[in-house]
């Protein structure tokens, strides 16, 4: 099968559209992180989390659930949180919930997929997030 110029140009336009949207998201995340890193001191992060594996995983999952984001921005945000003294279990729970649990987009999910499905998916994702954060923390301690 040969690729015609028309198909190639169509694919190129589609790729550029997706890439430019990703760049917009990346630059937005960088901007938010830059602003927050200047406004919020490391002591704020340290006081918010208790360094307790169980409570930090729950706090991180709750905070990640009520906010929302995309996987691209999570690398930057996670690095900044770790750099500011937040422990790995809280960061892991926050980021996993941030991309899997969707309180902000819940009404849209209910509309398209149904209320029962949306509730079950978000509830399971929330608890799996906490469990995975604790497991990842244990694995990293053994490492």
What are the tens digits of pLDDT across the range 8-62? 889 999 999 888 877 777 777 677 767 766 776 656 666 778 888 999 999 989 9
Dist. CA 57–CA 87, nearest whole Å: 10
Q: Indicate if the pLDDT at residue 118 is higher than 90.
A: yes
How many residues belong to the chain?
143
Residue 17: which H helix or E strand, with range? helix 5-39
Strand, coil or helix: what is 102?
Answer: coil
Is the predicted pLDDT of residue 4 greater than 70, yes or no?
A: yes
What is the pTM (predicted TM-score) of this model? 0.70
pLDDT digits (tens, 9 = 90+) for 63-114: 888 876 667 777 777 888 888 888 999 999 989 998 888 777 788 788 888 9
């Amino acid at each position: 099968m040969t690729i015609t110029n028309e198909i190639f140009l169509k694919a190129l336009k589609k790729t550029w559209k997706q890439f430019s949207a990703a760049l917009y998201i990346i630059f937005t995340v960088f901007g938010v992180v830059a602003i927050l890193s200047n406004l919020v001191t490391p002591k704020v992060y340290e006081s918010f989390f208790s360094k307790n594996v169980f409570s930090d995983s729950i706090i991180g999952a709750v905070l990640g659930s009520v906010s929302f984001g995309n996987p691209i921005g999570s690398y930057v945000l996670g690095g900044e949180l770790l750099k500011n003294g937040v422990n790995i279990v809280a960061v892991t729970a926050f980021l996993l919930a941030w991309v899997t649990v969707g309180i902000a987009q819940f009404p849209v999910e209910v509309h398209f997929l149904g209320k029962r499905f949306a509730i079950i998916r978000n509830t399971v994702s929330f608890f799996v997030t906490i469990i995975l954060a604790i497991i990842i923390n244990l694995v990293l301690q053994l490492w």
